[in-house]
Amino acid sequence: KAGVTQTPRYLIKTRGQQVTLSCSPISGHRSVSWYQQTPGQGLQFLFEYFSETQRNKGNFPGRFSGRQFSNSRSEMNVSTLELGDSALYLCASSLGLAGKNEQFFGPGTRLTVL
Amino acid sequence: AQSVSQHNHHVILSEAASLELGCNYSYGGTVNLFWYVQYPGQHLQLLLKYFSGDPLVKGIKGFEAEFIKSKFSFNLRKPSVQWSDTAEYFCAVNADYGGATNKLIFGTGTLLAVQP
């Protein structure tokens, strides 16, 4: 069974640009969550999607947005990039929205903002 | 706001030593508790989890954790570490609002280095 895949694996952007990251969950998983990982702040929850609807959102500015498609694949978008957005962005998938579900993490997308 | 504290940021042990990593959380309601591990160059993966029942839970690779509700703690233990346990360990908490979210609050992580 294929794991969670994220594309691209690495990105370099400049301030002010926008970026779109993609996540393909494990087949059959309907919930996708996104996390930002930085050395200073650790792992922080961005948002989660289930059945194409955003169900929960973390404490991030509106420049961070996402969506989920009917096949459960998800994208997140960051507009007007800032230096502080440099981070590893992780996607996690699970069967449903019950908090007891194990979440499976992808390898992440490493975003560098210059 | 909910938070998770991991007291040890860096731990260095020799092989065969015992390991205990501390984790405390702040949330008064029902919680689901997890320990994740990230080996060098690999994805985050689940070590073990606790939802209810026996507060001593066993996970993969000989790890176990004990939930102490009165102390809001979920400490990770292993009786004898191996060089291959070198990794970063994350404690995470899911506040159980009736199963409506998978949101995890993570601790800052503990880097474990095991010397052969």
Residue B34, min C-alpha distance to chain A (Å): 9
pLDDT of residue A61: 96
Residues 2-31 on B with a CB inside 8 Å of A are none
Average pLDDT on B12-31 reads 93
Question: Which of B43, B100, B107 lies nearest to residue A107, judging by beta carbons?
Answer: B43
DSSP character string of A27-54 = TT--EEEEEEEETTTEEEEEEEEETTEE
The residues near A22 (Cβ < 8 Å, ≥ 6 apart) are: A6, A7, A73, A74, A75
B54-87: buried (b, 16+ CB within 10 Å) or exposed (e) per residue? eeebebeeebbbbbeeeebbbbbebeebeeebbb
From chain A, the residues in CB contact with B108 under 8 A are 42
Question: Quick one: pLDDT band at residue A90, thresholds 50, 70, 90?
Answer: very high
Residue B10, min C-alpha distance to chain A (Å): 14
More confident residue, A90 or B52: A90
Question: Quick one: pLDDT band at residue B74, thresholds 50, 70, 90?
Answer: very high
Residue with tokens 């961070």, as numbered in its chain: A64
A91 and A106 Cβ atoms separated by less than 8 Å: yes
Residue A105, min C-alpha distance to chain B (Å): 6
Q: Do A103 and B96 touch (CB under 8 A)?
A: no
What is the distance between the alpha carbons of residues B93 and B26, in angstroms, rounded to a whole number?
9
Question: Which of A3, A33, A58 lies nearest to residue B102, judging by beta carbons?
Answer: A33
What is the distance between the alpha carbons of residues B33 and A51, in angstroms, rounded to a whole number?
25
Q: Do A42 and B107 touch (CB under 8 A)?
A: yes
Question: Quick one: pLDDT band at residue B88, thresholds 50, 70, 90?
Answer: very high
- Does the beta carbon of A103 lie under 8 angstroms from any beta carbon of chain B? yes
Length of chain B in terms of residues written: 116
pLDDT of residue B96: 66
Length of chain A in terms of residues written: 114
Closest by CA position to A74, among listed A112, A99, A37, A106: A106
pLDDT per position as a tens digit, A17-63: 999 999 999 999 999 999 999 998 999 999 999 999 999 999 999 99
What is the distance between the alpha carbons of residues B93 and B105, in angstroms, rounded to a whole number?
5
From chain A, the residues in CB contact with B33 under 8 A are none
Residues 27-86 on A with a CB inside 8 Å of B are 31, 33, 35, 42-45, 48, 55-56, 58
Mean residue pLDDT of chain A comes to 94
